Amino acid sequence: MQVAPVKHEQTVIGQVLTKFVAGDPEMFEAIAEDIDFRIDHFRDDVDVSWQHANSREALMSLVGRLGQDVFPKGTTALGIDTFALGDGWHLTRFRQRFFYGMRQRNVTSLTYIVSHEADGVLDFFRETVTNTVDA
């Protein structure tokens, strides 16, 4: 298998992340009705049991809660690097800076996202937050 870097703007995951950072609700138009979505945290004691969704409607509610609890002041992308894995699968390295509402401080974070897109919509999303470091 060959992993190839691609311009994130040319992928659905890249477009969704760009709209997420911009606070653009049009991002949901690029989400499948039956999205399989989950965020996990590596070695973090934060309760993330609510950070999963299996429908676009549930994801809209989850993103609303993320906005209140995690990103009350939004977020800034420091880097979005996407690699094509083949057959609609992508691995994305997403670096961001934000005011972390749950910790009440500015942080940077590195996450890895495995995603799948078909017919112009995102239908699978697994994010692993590797770290959240005070900025």
pLDDT attached to residue 51: 95
Rg (CA), the chain: 14
Task: Give pLDDT tens digits for 97-106.
Answer: 999 998 999 9
pLDDT at 74 over 70: yes
Q: How confident is the model over 35-60, as a mean pLDDT?
A: 92
pLDDT attached to residue 1: 66
Q: What are the backbone dihedrals phi and psi of residue 102, each rounded to the nearest 5 degrees, phi first?
A: -70, -25
pLDDT attached to residue 47: 81
Q: How confident is the model over 57-78, as a mean pLDDT?
A: 97
4-134 CATH: 3.10.450.50
pLDDT attached to residue 20: 97
Report domain extents, the chain: 4-134
Average pLDDT, the chain: 95
